[in-house]
Amino acid sequence: MDTAFLLDTFLRLIAALPLTLEVWALSVVLGGFVALGVTAARLSGSAPLEWFARAYVFVFRGTPLLVQLFVVYYGLASFPAVRATFLWPLLRSAFFCATLSLALCTAAYQSEIFRMAVAGIPRGQIEAARACGMSRWVLFRRVIFPIALRLALPAYATELISMVKATALVSLVTLWDVMSVSLKIRNDTLVTYTPLLVAGAIYFVVNFLLARALAALEYVLSPHLRGRPLFNRAPDVL
């Protein structure tokens, strides 16, 4: 294994990293909005909406992402009717299809996380806020949202990391992300291990940094859960 090849591989893979991150960021944000809708439907109290939300989560969590990706990319394109609509320029692009199917899939997982977070808010807190005369909006902004955010964060961090890993699937619909570039280098040079190892290292570092950043955010958001200061220490902050 020579250094020049290693460096070359590394540079080519790093050049593909923006696409991977772009797909990741877009699908996470888009999926987040869809998830908010699904969670709202689930908690709306109306039976048809709740049923829809349950079915959505069931289908998208119960099937492999690869199947969903292929249904969107290959499946939809096979209908002449779809090709005739104004959506066709979008659905023709692999980038759009990949982002869309990743977003729809993560939305199912994210909506469960949101639901769990809202369900985890102590009932008394909401009652207390009502008793103080908070309106619905103030109640959401001051009580529900901050508590739910903290409750959701650990599971949300896991979901964000598994989404980074899921972006590797877009290599199967002709996009040049880190995964597919490493496979191309492997095919061209017939070097088995190096390209895949370098790609693995890049994914690992991205996930590591992401996990650290989210852990730091969790620390910042939960000052009340940190260890209480000891009695014999000077109470300089109190």
Partner 1 sequence: MTLMVATVALLIGAAIGALVASAKLSGSRWGAAIGDAYAAVFRGVPELLVIYFVYFGSSGLLSGLGHLVGFEGFLGVPPFLAGALAVGVISGAYQAELYRGAYLAIAKGELEAARACGMGPMLMFRRIVTPQVIRFSLPGLNNLWQVALKDSSLISVTGLTELMRASQVAAGSTRQPFTFYIAGGALYLVLTVFSNRLFEFAEKRAARGTRRAGA
Cα separation of 66 and 51, whole Å?
A: 25
Taking phi over 0 as left and psi of -120 to 50 as alpha, with beta for the rest, 45 belongs to left
Q: Which residues contact 90 (CB under 8 A, 6 or more apart)?
A: 96
Q: Residues 6 or more apart from 13 whose CB is under 8 A from it?
A: 178, 181, 182, 185, 195, 198, 199, 202
With respect to partner 1, which residue has the nearer C-beta, 58 or 219? Answer: 58
Q: Does 179 bind partner 1 (CB under 8 A)?
A: yes
Asked if residue 192 binds partner 1 (CB under 8 A), the reply is yes
116 binds partner 1 (CB under 8 A): no
CA separation for the pair 57, 175 (Å, rounded): 27
Q: For residues 63 and 135, which CB has a smaller minimum distance to partner 1 in the complex?
A: 63
Q: Does 63 contact partner 1 by CB under 8 A?
A: yes
- 88 lies in the binding site for partner 1 (CB under 8 A): no
Cβ atoms of 121 and 147 closer than 8 Å: yes
Does 219 bind partner 1 (CB under 8 A)? Our answer is no
Asked whether position 165 contacts partner 1 by CB under 8 A, the answer is: yes
**Closer CB to partner 1, 126 or 197, in the complex:** 197
Residue 77 vs 147, nearer CB to partner 1: 77
In the three-class reduction of DSSP (H, G, I as helix; E, B as strand; rest coil), residue 135 is classed as coil
d(CA 178, CA 146): 36
Question: Which CB atom, from 6 or from 149, has the smaller least distance to partner 1?
Answer: 6
Rounded Cα distance between 18 and 175, Å, is: 12
Does 17 sit near partner 1 (CB under 8 A)?
Answer: no
User: Per rule CB under 8 A, is residue 58 in the interface with partner 1?
Assistant: yes
Binding site for partner 1 (CB under 8 A): 58-59, 62-68, 70-71, 74-79, 161, 164-169, 171-172, 179, 182-183, 186, 192-193, 196-197, 199-200, 203-204, 207-208, 211
